Structure 1
Amino acid sequence: MTDRQDDVPAELDSAAGEGAFAPGGEIMGHPTGLFFLFFAELWERFSFYGMRALLTLYLATELFKDVADGKTIAYEIYAAYGSLVYFTPALGGMIADRVIGHKNSIMLGALLMTIGHFTMAFESESIFYLSLGLLIIGNGFFKPNISSLVGGLYREGDTRRDGGFTIFYLGINLGAFMAPLACGYLGENYGWHYGFSAAGIGMFIGLLVFWYGRVKGIYGEQGEQPLAYASKNLGGINVRYLVYALSFLSVPLFAMLVSKSELTVFGSTGLLQFLLISLLILVLVYLTYVCVVSDKITRDRLIVVVVLTFFVTVFWAFFEQAGSSLTLFAEEQVRLVGLNASQTNAINPFYIVALAIPFSMMWNKLESKKMNPNTMIKFGLGIGQLGVGFLVFALSARFMDDEGKVGMIFLLVGYLLITSGELFLSPIGLSKVTELSPAKLVAFMMGVWFLSSSFAHYIAGLIAKLTTGGGHGEGEASEAVAEVVAEPSVMASLARWITGASADEAATASAANLLNYTSVFAQIAIISFVVAAIALLISPIIKRMMHGIR
């Protein structure tokens, strides 16, 4: 199969329905290509989560350790990086669909990220920001397109699809599990830049695995460069090479956005907000056009993707406290056993590694009994479990010791619950985006799906900043953050009831710090329950709009 060259037609085929195939036979009942993509994604996620596990701690305890508000700056940079690294996939998906193809995009993205991780080994602040710029651009080309290739391995209606994406998700989290243990150990015992270098080695292995699968034709003909652009030149240069060159040239721009995060994220310029809103408007305008020229089934399914993207944005906005406030919560307030704070980032992927196959089997078993819940119900249940997990984090305040610290059991149980919620939502969402999206737009729609993480990281940064003072003593910025999370008079009272006290009543500074954290976690739990209820209520409507896809 080669990519179709016509403009967006009035009727668009399903992404999975066009050219789905299983070149090279099957392994464990799934296309062989799934397992090559599994290992490529495993090592890419090893690099991503290895760096993420170190980033906030490195910024707060090393790069800005002598700065009065170092923790706040660390949150700002983490929010800027997290937002931008998921800002670019919508652009990368569109460029891949229309210009250079999915496979070329994956190779380009992997190369950029490999360079970005290795350059972080240099102890230079300016090179550090350039490295983040390389990772941001690279992820934009890599992330939406590898998921699109997975979707292309299954035909529409193939009951193996959800199970296949759960297996793929297992690869993501094997990498995410190994990374904090390895990179966190090297970073905290031998030096931060050794940990960053280990992440680079993982990314290079992922690049080699994908390249080998491509050379062997494991992925078939899907994802090749569209014929209309394969021989197209601009100024005597092939358009593909122009995309490559512009990708590298854009790195300093994104490095600058991260380095000026105090202005671009929460500051007066609001540059990041402007970029996010501008891209959102462009995406909505383009989707509106596609809906207008499409048939009713395609239009309804695209609307469902948008609705699912909204709910997953809420989920990730809360879940992404794992890379920021939950990491520092573990460092400052939890009596850790056997793990350091950066290594606690391995708890979530460990649970996913343990639970992914049982969940995949569970969905298949429920399907055989015609009891498999529809996608919207799964989303509601997943967000509800996230809420219960944060409720456990919040309740830990009732069991603090004399030093204002809590047992590690609360961290383990809370992570178990938010992980089970993730398995109800994230791999299912990946599967449905590829199944609901038209073939010509599958990578773009996957980019839209990941755009949710961009907004989520921005919101997560706002929430994380609230944990530095709970809305008290941080000046106008903290009060603004409090207003984002909830209306203080109602939510603060509920949070106090859950945690048992307010930060103002704490006997020690450590206890006050704990209550700042748990007050925010309590508010997250309450909002999660409300959003979960909404998802469950609208599930019959969403089910009808999916037109036979569950």
Structure 2
Amino acid sequence: MSNEIYEAEQPQLFGHPKGLLYLFFAELWERFSFYGMRALLVLYMTKHLLFDDDMAFGVYAAYMSLVYVTPMIGGILADKILGYRKAIILGGILMIFGHFFLTIEMPIFFYGSLGLIIVGNGFFKPNISSFVGELYAQGDARRDSGFTIFYLGINLGAAIAPLLCAWFAVTYGWHYGFILAGIGMVTGLLVFRGGLKNNVFGNKGFVPNQEIYAQKWFGLTRGKCIVLGSILSVPVFGTLIRFHEFEGYLVWIVSAFLVFYIGFILSKVTSTERKRLLVAVYFTILYTLFAAIFEQAGSSLTLFADRNVNLVGMNAAGTNSINASFIIIFAIPFSMLWTYLSRRKVNPNSAVKFGLGLIFLGLGFIVFALSAHSVDDYAKTGMSYLVIGYMVLTVGELFLSPIGLSKMTELSPLKYVAFIMGVWFSANFYGHFFAGKIAKLTTVSNGNTNVFSEGLFGRFTEFITGLTPQIVSQQSDALQQLFSYVSVYASFGVISVIVGIFAILISPIIKKMMAGIH
């Protein structure tokens, strides 16, 4: 189908399908709710529920990883039965209840609310992203630009939410911060329904096969069975979060499922599709490493800001908005840059962009580690390092994350687009699982140090931070805590840079396997 015929099926606005505007704002408000709650969660657990750091990191890591495993299931169900429209609406409703139930201070509601958000996100997140890809024809030069604009919507919500929700939580109480997050989710769902009402999506996103959707299981249509099954699964996810120490078993189960199902798809597609799908898996593995390091933002970096940074103009929860604020500043220039470079035929291919993304991520964490050079008598560092570090890793994020979203919709066999988008988000499942392990390395007790304070990584740490275990051993507990943070950040910063360089070196092989996709 030519781009001209494809464009004629749906209204256009500012050179992009008009449906992008509605998906942009729906995702903006959904991410407002998600990131507003996320910014409060670790601080709420450590300061209000009085969880210790290990417990808070464990709950946070389990919640954030499970949020990104359900999109695989939601993607399959949308591909086969629900379609994008119904999946997005179901996910939005479940997430609304999840945010509002957090205001009820009982363990069953705390863990049940997180379970509702996990299940709801599984239907909402992969399918709204796949819906964006559906708006563009295969090979449309506007695709990367469109996804970068969509990514701007994600980060507008992520930038505003921590500041507003944190202000409400501090001024009126934690629960008011959660209520505001819930209101954001309601707004996002209303915007999406407005797009459906105004018919801006053309014939996209409907139930793929009405006969299959209407077939009955146990006296109920398949659609209703999915709704019932989603509700019944909430206690399961709540239990997994409560007993997060057993999450490692789930990692093995998910991995076995992914290997089996991806292997099944590989056996059903053409040789070209097989190579492209393997590239999608490779990109997902790189994104897993990126997420494991990057997602210190909601856990250890939040506590680092709270305990060891001289904050100006915001509290620790509010620092979660710094990264998203830089996305807002840089997203449109990056979108224009990709379009400009494409016209001049010098746009770096996606494999190179992934390598550059990892390099900038690593440099950002090295900047966090360099903050040790400005430590004061209270073991607090200058806020400028926190801001600059977030700025650098944000550049890395723009090289990698929106490009990955775009490429998944192109590299996927057409029958499995939403599932492969779910596979992409599984990188966040693994990433958050390992991010929790990394965050726990930053906890200290009785003067103990972590594995990155000695040996080869210890030398990296000393070179970057100027600190050693011997220097800090006789100092205050606060300085030892600072050393624990910066030693981990320095070491993983170096690891990310090395992997990024390797990814660039092998990019010609990856480009060949992409078979014509940039």
Partner SS state of residue 404, structure 1: coil
Q: Does 1:515 align with 2:479?
A: no
Partner of residue 60 from structure 1, selected from 34, 46, 60: 46
Segment drifting more, 378-387 vs 509-518 = 509-518
Q: Does 1:230 align with 2:205?
A: no
Q: Distance in 2 between matches of 1:105 and 1:295?
A: 29
1:326-405 alignment runs, 5 A limit: 326-405=301-380
Measured after TM superposition, the shift of residue 295 of structure 1 is 1.3
Q: Distance in 2 between matches of 1:463 and 1:407?
A: 23
Partner of residue 185 from structure 1, selected from 159, 167, 175: 167
Partner SS state of residue 346, structure 2: coil
Residues 292-332 of structure 1: CA deviation (Å, up to 9, x unaligned):
22211101100010000000110011000000011000000
Q: Distance in 1 between matches of 2:445 and 2:327?
A: 31
Q: Distance in 2 between matches of 1:494 and 1:22?
A: 57
Q: Distance in 1 between matches of 2:80 and 2:11?
A: 29
Measured after TM superposition, the shift of residue 207 of structure 1 is 0.7
Residues 429-488 of structure 1: CA deviation (Å, up to 9, x unaligned):
0000011111210000000000000000010000000111299638xxxx7xx4xxx795
Higher helix share: 2
Partner SS state of residue 393, structure 1: helix
Partner of residue 440 from structure 1, selected from 415, 427, 432: 415
1:389-538 alignment runs, 5 A limit: 389-469=364-444, 473=448, 482=451, 489-506=455-472, 507-538=475-506
Aligned to 1:240: 223
Segment drifting more, 273-282 vs 340-349 = 273-282
Q: Does 1:117 align with 2:92?
A: no
Aligned amino acid, residue 535 of structure 1: A
Q: Distance in 2 between matches of 1:42 and 1:225?
A: 25
Aligned amino acid, residue 489 of structure 1: G
Aligned amino acid, residue 468 of structure 2: S
Partner of residue 509 from structure 2, selected from 541, 544, 547: 541
Q: Does 1:29 align with 2:31?
A: no
Segment drifting more, 229-238 vs 455-464 = 229-238
Aligned amino acid, residue 258 of structure 1: I
Residues 81-104 of structure 1: CA deviation (Å, up to 9, x unaligned):
011111111111111111221211
CA shift in 2, pair 1:316/1:159, >3 Å: same
Q: Does 1:301 align with 2:276?
A: yes
Aligned amino acid, residue 500 of structure 1: G
Partner SS state of residue 101, structure 1: helix
Whether the 8 Å contact between 2:453 and 2:469 is mirrored in structure 1 is no
Aligned to 1:259: 242
Q: Distance in 1 between matches of 2:217 and 2:479?
A: 63
Whether the 8 Å contact between 1:21 and 1:152 is mirrored in structure 2 is no
CA shift in 2, pair 1:455/1:487, >3 Å: farther
Q: Distance in 2 between matches of 1:57 and 1:22?
A: 50
Q: Distance in 2 between matches of 1:236 and 1:122?
A: 35
Runs (5+) with no aligned partner, structure 1 = 1-13, 265-271
Partner SS state of residue 157, structure 1: coil
Segment drifting more, 274-283 vs 529-538 = 274-283
Residues 35-80 of structure 1: CA deviation (Å, up to 9, x unaligned):
100000000000000000000100111112xx5xx11111011001
Segment drifting more, 518-527 vs 274-283 = 274-283
Whether the 8 Å contact between 1:470 and 1:517 is mirrored in structure 2 is no
Q: Distance in 1 between matches of 2:501 and 2:249?
A: 31
Runs (5+) with no aligned partner, structure 2 = none
Partner SS state of residue 252, structure 2: helix
Residues 254-313 of structure 1: CA deviation (Å, up to 9, x unaligned):
11111122x32xxxxxxx222222122222222222222221110110001000000011
Measured after TM superposition, the shift of residue 428 of structure 1 is 0.3
Q: Distance in 2 between matches of 1:62 and 1:22?
A: 55
CA shift in 2, pair 1:439/1:471, >3 Å: farther
Partner of residue 139 from structure 2, selected from 157, 163, 172: 157
Q: Does 1:75 align with 2:57?
A: yes
CA shift in 2, pair 1:335/1:341, >3 Å: same
Q: Distance in 2 between matches of 1:310 and 1:463?
A: 17
Q: Does 1:48 align with 2:34?
A: yes
**Backbone CA RMSD of aligned residues:** 1.8
Aligned amino acid, residue 148 of structure 2: T
Q: Distance in 2 between matches of 1:504 and 1:77?
A: 33
CA shift in 2, pair 1:89/1:487, >3 Å: farther
Q: Distance in 2 between matches of 1:170 and 1:273?
A: 34
Q: Distance in 1 between matches of 2:106 and 2:173?
A: 14
Runs of 4+ in structure 1 displaced over 6 angstroms? Answer: none
Whether the 8 Å contact between 2:447 and 2:477 is mirrored in structure 1 is no
Measured after TM superposition, the shift of residue 412 of structure 1 is 0.5
Q: Distance in 1 between matches of 2:215 and 2:404?
A: 35
Whether the 8 Å contact between 1:23 and 1:218 is mirrored in structure 2 is no
Q: Distance in 2 between matches of 1:341 and 1:231?
A: 49
Whether the 8 Å contact between 2:269 and 2:413 is mirrored in structure 1 is no
1:163-182 alignment runs, 5 A limit: 163-182=145-164
Aligned to 2:119: 137
Q: Distance in 1 between matches of 2:8 and 2:70?
A: 30
Measured after TM superposition, the shift of residue 123 of structure 1 is 2.1
Whether the 8 Å contact between 2:36 and 2:181 is mirrored in structure 1 is yes
Aligned amino acid, residue 234 of structure 1: W
CA shift in 2, pair 1:298/1:196, >3 Å: same
CA shift in 2, pair 1:471/1:22, >3 Å: farther
Partner SS state of residue 394, structure 2: helix
Residues 324-360 of structure 1: CA deviation (Å, up to 9, x unaligned):
0110000000000001000000100000011100000
The percent of aligned pairs where both chains have the same amino acid is 49
